[in-house]
């Protein structure tokens, strides 16, 4: 995608009279796009290095495993969010859809693993589908539709759990619980599932026609429509995908915790959006990549872990740091984006 956007810019540059050395321009262009793509990875490596030097308990197996599993659920939510944001949209409903998925999975687990997986996927996918239809067909603003969907999901969650007073538990001998508890090569199953989903997501985004449509719709909707891309269908698909991802993450989380906790998921939409943006995906759409979102999630979780390690610091500092971090990344991206356009 990088080459797609830089090439025309470079050509314009060459054509314009009185321009600087094209050689220099391309190099700073390359630097700009490098910073945009790998800035988060560098920050993650630096954070990990600093953390492992400062805290003996950071690089222990237990701590790493803990971080990996707790990242897994957010990562799956962020995966769906990445598709949505690349089309230039946003999905604010994922936090409560995640919680709803967990509650439905825990409730359904008494009827077998199949119900525990299919019920949350069906309901959460349906919420995503309705979001997509309202956004693509009725042309309503994504943030307001998904805010309303967030309320809807919360309302459904409350009515399923007798206004939040019932917590459904997953029987620990059930196959469904093993999905969250079992380990493969010493690493929890949720982590493996997440890795597999990210591989699949990256493949779809990079190599499939649908992936190309996602970029095209986010880059320029009108141009995409003129090219013959199915704009409405692509949008409906990404919001449905986001609903499915959030529901699945909720179900996996319920299997891991062995209960459908009703108060989870608050603020998760913000974490997921932060992770995607920190990973280099532009909120204006048309540019982004799956691997960046994974790096973004890991970075947020490492920051959280470090703040927990310091101990004397209240966990509220984590929110301050993530908010400030998000602001910094967005400032940097806006600046880099403007530079690209000017070059």
Partner 1 sequence: MTELTLRRSELDRARVLRLLQDYGVYAGVAVLILVNVVLTPNFVSGENFRTQAVQVAPVMIVALGMALAIGSQGIDLSVGSVMALSTSLLSLYLGYGPWIAVLVAVIGGMVIGLANGSLIAFIGVQPIVATLALMVAGRGLALVLLPQLKDVRDPGMATLGSGSVLGIPYLVLIAVALAIAVAFVVRRTTFGRQLLAIGDSRPAAQLAGLPVRRVLIIVYVVSGALAAVAGVIATARLTASDPTSLGTLMELSAITAVVVGGTPLSGGRVRIGGTVAGAVLIQLLTATLIKHDLPPSWTQIAQAVVIVAAVYAARERGKR
Give me the residues that bind partner 1 (CB under 8 A), please: 90, 134, 138-141, 143-145, 147-152, 154-159, 163, 266-267, 270, 273-274, 277, 283-284, 314, 316-324, 326-327, 330-331, 334-335, 338
Residue 169, SS3?
A: strand
Q: How far apart are CA 289 and CA 270, in angstroms?
A: 19
- Quote the least distance from Cβ 171 to partner 1, whole Å: 26
Neighbour tally for 208: CB within 10 Å: 11
- The residue among 1 and 270 lying less far from partner 1, judged by its C-beta, is 270
- The residue among 129 and 321 lying less far from partner 1, judged by its C-beta, is 321
- Quote the least distance from Cβ 161 to partner 1, whole Å: 9
- Quote the least distance from Cβ 62 to partner 1, whole Å: 27
- Quote the least distance from Cβ 150 to partner 1, whole Å: 8
Q: How far apart are CA 129 and CA 174, in angstroms?
A: 30
Helices (H), 87-220: 94-108, 113-136, 142-160, 175-181, 189-207, 209-219
Which residue's entry shows tokens 């880059």? 219
- The residue among 63 and 319 lying less far from partner 1, judged by its C-beta, is 319
- The residue among 12 and 163 lying less far from partner 1, judged by its C-beta, is 163
- The residue among 145 and 246 lying less far from partner 1, judged by its C-beta, is 145
C-alpha 102: how far from chain center:
18
Q: How far apart are CA 250 and CA 108, in angstroms?
A: 13
Burial 165-181 (b: 16+ CB within 10 A, else e): eeebebeeebebbebbe
- Quote the least distance from Cβ 3 to partner 1, whole Å: 25
Q: Which of 161, 168, 170 is nearest to 255 (CA)?
A: 170
- Quote the least distance from Cβ 322 to partner 1, whole Å: 6
- Quote the least distance from Cβ 195 to partner 1, whole Å: 27
How many residues are present in the chain?
A: 343
- The residue among 197 and 340 lying less far from partner 1, judged by its C-beta, is 340
All residues at 6 or more sequence positions from 257 whose CB lies less than 8 Å from its CB, including other chains? 102, 180
- The residue among 25 and 148 lying less far from partner 1, judged by its C-beta, is 148
């Amino acid at each position: 995608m990088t080459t797609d956007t830089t090439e025309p810019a470079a050509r314009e540059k060459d054509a314009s009279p009185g321009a600087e050395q094209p050689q220099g321009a391309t190099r700073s262009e390359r630097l700009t796009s490098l910073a945009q793509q790998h800035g988060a990875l560098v920050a993650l490596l630096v954070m990990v290095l600093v953390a492992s030097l400062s805290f003996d308990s950071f690089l222990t197996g237990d701590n790493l495993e803990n971080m990996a599993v707790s990242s897994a659920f957010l990562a799956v939510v962020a995966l769906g969010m990445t598709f949505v944001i690349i089309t230039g949209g946003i999905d604010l409903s994922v936090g409560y859809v995640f919680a709803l998925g967990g509650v439905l999975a825990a409730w359904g687990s008494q009827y077998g693993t199949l119900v525990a997986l299919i019920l949350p996927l069906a309901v959460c996918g349906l919420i995503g589908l309705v979001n997509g239809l309202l956004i693509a067909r009725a042309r309503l603003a994504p943030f307001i539709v998904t805010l309303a969907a967030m309320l809807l999901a919360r309302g459904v969650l409350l009515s399923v759990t007798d206004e939040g007073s019932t917590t459904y538990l997953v029987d620990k001998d059930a196959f469904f619980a093993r999905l969250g508890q079992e380990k493969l090569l010493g690493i929890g199953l949720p982590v493996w599932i997440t890795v597999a989903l990210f591989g699949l997501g990256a493949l779809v985004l990079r190599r499939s026609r649908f992936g190309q449509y996602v970029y095209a719709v986010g880059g320029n909707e009108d141009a995409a429509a003129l090219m013959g891309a199915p704009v409405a269908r692509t949008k409906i698909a990404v919001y449905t995908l986001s609903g499915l991802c959030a529901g699945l993450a909720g179900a996996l989380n319920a299997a891991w915790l062995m209960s459908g906790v009703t108060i989870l998921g608050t603020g998760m939409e913000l974490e997921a959006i932060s992770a995607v943006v920190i990973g280099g995906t532009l909120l204006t759409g048309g540019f982004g990549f799956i691997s960046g979102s994974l790096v973004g999630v890991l970075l947020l979780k490492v920051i959280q872990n470090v703040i927990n390690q310091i101990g004397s610091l209240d966990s509220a500092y984590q929110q301050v740091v993530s908010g400030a971090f998000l602001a910094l990344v967005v400032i940097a991206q806006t600046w880099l984006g403007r530079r690209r356009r000017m070059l």
